[in-house]
Amino acid sequence: MEYKELMQLAEEARERAYAPYSHFRVGVALLSTSGKVYMGCNIENASYGATMCAERTALFKAVSEGEREFSAIAISGAAEGQQGSFCAPCGICRQALSEFCSTECAVILGDSDNLKVYTMGELLPLSFRLPD
Ligand code: THU
């Protein structure tokens, strides 16, 4: 799948964000090595700490469906009414993703007209892992 198409799915997922507190909407499209796409959005809560980020929504959906490896993730995030988008994943999501994404996994940021492509290794060097 083209990165542009994956970002378009992330933008579609962003429309389903539930963000009445921050008004910052995030959507994700996560591509498994089996070729399936899992979408996710941020889901906020009146008890703010119970909020779930879009990246982990998509990751946990996919892992709970049996996926264990991913080749790319597109992330679209912006404040309501803002033009364009550039939303890098938070630290907790980087750590959660690193459990299932290799250092080569593509992390696609920006928007579908202006993609910025990174790797997991660039976003989270020296990631924590338990020894084999
Ligand atoms: N958020 C995400 O969904 N992903 C990130 O990587 C950063 C932050 C959400 C959480 C909260 O609903 C809103 O963006 C503002 O922090």
Closest CA relative to residue 83, chosen from 41, 124, 111: 111
Whole-model pTM: value is 0.97
The finding on whether 40 has its CB within 6 A of some atom of ligand 1 is no
Please tell me what DSSP assigns to residue 88: P
Instruction: Name the strand (E) or helix (H) holding 111.
Output: strand 101-111
Amino acid at 95: Q
Q: What is the pLDDT of residues 74-97, one digit of tens each?
A: 999 999 888 778 999 999 999 999
All residue ranges of the chain with pLDDT < 50 are none
Q: How far apart are CA 93 and CA 60, in angstroms?
A: 11
Q: Which atom of ligand 1 is nearest to the CA of 43?
A: 12
Amino acid at 33: T
The finding on whether 93 has its CB within 6 A of some atom of ligand 1 is yes
For ligand 1, the distance from its centroid to the CA atom of residue 131, given in whole angstroms, is 30
Residue ID of nearest Cα to ligand 1 atom 3: 53
Catalytic residue among 2, 12, 15, 55: 55
Quick one: pLDDT at residue 83?
Answer: 79
Quick one: pLDDT at residue 111?
Answer: 96
Q: How far apart are CA 25 and CA 78, in angstroms?
A: 6
Strands (E) in 33-113, as ranges, are: 37-41, 70-79, 101-111
